[in-house]
Structure 1
Amino acid sequence: MKRRDFFKNTTLATAGAALLPTLGFGHSMDKKAGKTAKNIIFLVSDGMSTGTLNMANLLLHRKEGRKSRWVSLYEENKAVRALMDTASANSLVTDSGAASSAWGGGVRVNNGSINVNPDGSSNKPILQKFKAAGKAVGCVTTVPITHATPAGFCIATKSRDDQEGIARQYLTLKFDVMMGGGTEFFTSNKRKDKADLFREYSQQGYSVVRTRKEMMATSPSVGTPILGVFHDNALPYTLDRAQDKHLQETMPTLAEMTSQAIKHLKNNKKGFVLQVEAGKVDWAAHANDIGGLLYDQIAFDDAIGVALDFAEKDKETLVIITTDHGNANPGLYSNEKADENFDKIQKFKHTNDWILTGISRDSSLKQLIERVEAAQSIAITSDEAQILLKHIRALDETGIYNPKKLPFSQLAQIQYNYTSVGWGSIHHSADYVELAMVGPGSELLKPFVKNVELHKIMLQACGVVS
């Protein structure tokens, strides 16, 4: 570039930058500074790296000709946007319990704990604060309702793994809506103490629902809390649910749970606060499962749509959209067939989880190859199938999100040849993450924040004194 052109372009760039505040870049077009939010809907795509958001948008655009609602907020300049530092008290790389505790308790705690400090003291969770202020509160998730992210808004415990104890803590709090998976933490035949928490919740005045039909039939009623637990462990992946009529009839989507929760909570005169979590996005990232990841991210985007539609009509709702941390750093990588390969994901019918859980040590190469092709229209080679069978027979991979020790990483590496999607790891990352806000209170958001700052922003947005 010639020197005079450089200065010419630099001058234009500087002038353009000066116009950005006027154009509203990074700021909600319809924000009303100083207006108090009556409601908050806090949406979390757990473990969402930037590449997940990007690829879900690309998949939607190429498959359905539309953009994701999240990216559209940016494109249409309708949200305040920021980067968020997600560290915990003892690590640059947080886990979900510490991350949700930063939002929920307003203090960074060590990984593994929920709203409990290293000295043993605890921090009062934000939903308890909002409940005390007279608001209706609740959580919905695609993983156990007792899992780390919803728990961080609700309770305090030394160990995030004490999900039986978390289920019991919820009982006395009488939060207005709690829905997700985790049947094993409520049923007498699976709890260590043999307590029938479903019965105890009913006795305490809860409306207990166990299926999508029961949830959809529930009539909004102020003062009657709802507990919805629909599946052992987490709910099925969106992609697998779409191929199973029984699952479609019995398992609600995240968008449906969000809609029903809002219908129930909105009748409270002092407003409500709802956390919505796409927990299976994180689980798919741990498994390097691109089908599970992107279609659950799209299901999360549908829930964003429900929240935004309500907020647009309501005019008193702050919508917060973010993630607690990155995970696995997936991305679409360059080669001469990148577009063609990425488009193969449009034809996926099942996740890698479905493929591998249907293969045993006794399966043949032919059976494995046919199962992959039926699930994802990918014809892997005999050598590639042999790699997978070798690991299945050795069962050499482990981890909290892979208790069956299945070769998820190996399958993902093979898939790279067909999808051009690669992965950085199977673990959380320290990446700064996306954060967007729309509605009253969004003007409080700075371009760069620490996760703990959201606690104060939420309270301030609603005019609630901590």
Structure 2
Amino acid sequence: MKRRDFFRNTALGALGAAFTAPLRAIGQTTASARNIIFMVSDGMSNGTLTMASLLRQRKEGKQSHWLQLYESGKATRALMSTASATSLVTDSAAGSSAWGGGVRVPNGSLNVGADGTHYTPILQKFKKAGRATGCVTTVPITHATPAGFCINNSHRGDMGEIALQYLPLQFDVMLGGGREYFLASHRKDKQDLLQQYQNNGYTVIDNRDALLQLPAANSSPVLGVFCENGLPYALDREQDTTLQQQIPTLAEMTTQAIRRLSKHPKGFMLQVEGGKVDWAAHANDAAALLYDQLAFDDAVKVALDFAATDKNTLVIITTDHGNANPGLYYSDKANSNFDKLHTMRHTNDWILNGIQRSTTPAALIERIEHAQGLVITPAEAGSLLAHYSQLDGDGLYNPRKLPFKELAMIQSAYTSINWGGMDHTADYVELAMTGPGSELLPPFVKNTDLHPFILKHAGI
């Protein structure tokens, strides 16, 4: 062999190895995970993870459970590309489908390709393999992220149809909001799906006590829909005893789901979603965002505690995409401004939904001070109230067109928290794994890589 050919072939071989190493790592397996817990903080930008951990550190004196994994060296960490088939910026349907079906599909689609091809969702594969399956979320159980693990539908917004699609699949635990998609009074076809689920052997529950009292030995599938639309924000729930009695926390739902699924002799796969993190980011609602991220972090602890005892569970913690790119920005008062979140009692969602056209600037100033301890000026109150003469607010999940953006801009001077926008971003996102097989996670992956990774390490 000529000397230059030797070097050329060696270089090409090294280059090929560099490109294929991550794929080989995903395909390899040195251990088999009996259980998979896949945790999604929907719409979590890196700034969200950072600020929530800072809030927990400064308020409670401890790091977030997610970042404790990094500090202790107990997790493998990677960055993940989140694009869909049609855009560098994914939506939650395509984002979840990348994991669920293993293929990038168009935004708005659930495991259905642009050519109409249906890709089998991962929970159906686990079910076919004889494993227990479930989803837990703080938004409607029919919403994009859980649905991406469960069904095929070219329209993520057809949640009434998705509720019907779940029925014959017999997933073992499905917990969240979205009761209206199961009620005859709210459905276009007037079908009483809650009754149909009961007729098909499901245990149907609608409140926290019923969830906490579920017998673990009961093998019937469980459908829990605890409210219409999404669950209340964690911060608002903590100030309302009625909501506390009616609505479980994400950590409580995760605990009960694991408690039931872990009884299955062949193991399980569970998806856990902090869905309201995304809704809060769309609204630029800092208090809602960070306390729901901490509620998700509490659910992370539940999963990690189980995995530590079980020693045969792969825990995956990530997000489907960034959203709004919030951050704590420099000022001389950045620390003290940020620490105002310690004593906040309510979200911007609570503040704005309690304002009417007749609300006076003085009443608004008092409402915001009561909710968050911030004392805005009469001029700021007047500028916010001006939007109530004709509501025209931005942001997704804002049916009343409330002025979320304007309130966030006012608050930035008092909290030092600023926002990049009100929608999803193309950021590469955090991905953490711990448990059997996690050591083989490459440092950079595509979202679709997780589908074969999970199947390999679950032995499916």
Q: Place the TM-score, normalised by the shorter chain, in its bin.
A: over 0.9
Is residue 395–residue 422 contact of structure 2 (8 Å, CA) maintained in 1?
Answer: no
178, 188, 197: which one aligns with 1:201: 197
How far apart are 1:81 and its partner, in Å?
A: 0.2
Q: What amino acid maps onto 1:34 in structure 2? A: T
Q: Secondary structure at the match of 1:190?
A: coil
Q: Distance in 2 between matches of 1:282 and 1:422?
A: 16
How far apart are 1:396 and its partner, in Å?
A: 1.2
How far apart are 1:33 and its partner, in Å?
A: 6.6
Superposed counterparts of 1:216-365, under 5 Å: 216-221=212-217, 223-365=219-361
Q: Distance in 1 between matches of 2:71 and 2:394?
A: 41
Q: Distance in 1 between matches of 2:132 and 2:41?
A: 22
Q: Distance in 2 between matches of 1:180 and 1:197?
A: 15
Is residue 29–residue 456 contact of structure 2 (8 Å, CA) maintained in 1?
Answer: no
Equivalent position of 1:407 in the other structure = 403
Equivalent position of 1:452 in the other structure = 448
How far apart are 1:222 and its partner, in Å?
A: 5.5
382, 385, 392: which one aligns with 1:389: 385
Equivalent position of 2:208 in the other structure = 212
Seq. identity, % = 63
TM-score, structure 1 normalization: 0.92
Equivalent position of 1:184 in the other structure = 180
| 1:120 equivalent in alignment to 2:116 | yes
Equivalent position of 2:30 in the other structure = 34
Q: Secondary structure at the match of 2:68?
A: helix
Is residue 444–residue 457 contact of structure 1 (8 Å, CA) maintained in 2?
Answer: no
Equivalent position of 1:50 in the other structure = 46
Q: Secondary structure at the match of 1:305?
A: helix
Equivalent position of 1:85 in the other structure = 81
How far apart are 1:399 and its partner, in Å?
A: 4.6
How far apart are 1:360 and its partner, in Å?
A: 1.2
Q: Distance in 1 between matches of 2:218 and 2:226?
A: 23
140, 146, 152: which one aligns with 2:148: 152
Q: Distance in 2 between matches of 1:153 and 1:229?
A: 18
Unmatched 5+ residue regions in structure 1?
A: 1-31
Is residue 115–residue 122 contact of structure 1 (8 Å, CA) maintained in 2?
Answer: yes
Equivalent position of 2:69 in the other structure = 73
Q: Distance in 1 between matches of 2:256 and 2:100?
A: 23
Q: Distance in 2 between matches of 1:443 and 1:174?
A: 33
TM-score, structure 2 normalization: 0.93
Q: Distance in 2 between matches of 1:169 and 1:237?
A: 28
The one-character-per-residue Cα deviations of 1:162-188 (angstroms, maximum 9, x if unpaired) are: 000000000010100000000110011
Equivalent position of 2:416 in the other structure = 420
Is residue 220–residue 263 contact of structure 1 (8 Å, CA) maintained in 2?
Answer: yes
Is residue 45–residue 323 contact of structure 2 (8 Å, CA) maintained in 1?
Answer: yes
- 190 and 394 in structure 1: CA distance in 2 versus 1, 3 angstrom threshold: same
Is residue 398–residue 404 contact of structure 1 (8 Å, CA) maintained in 2?
Answer: no
Equivalent position of 1:431 in the other structure = 427
Q: What amino acid maps onto 2:85 in structure 1? A: A
Q: Secondary structure at the match of 2:31?
A: coil
Equivalent position of 1:166 in the other structure = 162
Q: What amino acid maps onto 1:449 in structure 2? A: V
Q: Secondary structure at the match of 2:358?
A: coil
The one-character-per-residue Cα deviations of 1:139-173 (angstroms, maximum 9, x if unpaired) are: 00000000000000000001000000000000010
Unmatched 5+ residue regions in structure 2?
A: 1-27
Q: Distance in 2 between matches of 1:76 and 1:392?
A: 50
Is residue 88–residue 426 contact of structure 2 (8 Å, CA) maintained in 1?
Answer: yes
Of 392-401 and 159-168, deviating more is: 392-401
Deviation above 6 Å: which 4+ runs of structure 1? Answer: none
Superposed counterparts of 1:137-148, under 5 Å: 137-148=133-144
Report the number of matched residues. 433
What is the root-mean-square deviation of aligned Cα atoms in Å? 1.0
Is residue 394–residue 404 contact of structure 2 (8 Å, CA) maintained in 1?
Answer: no
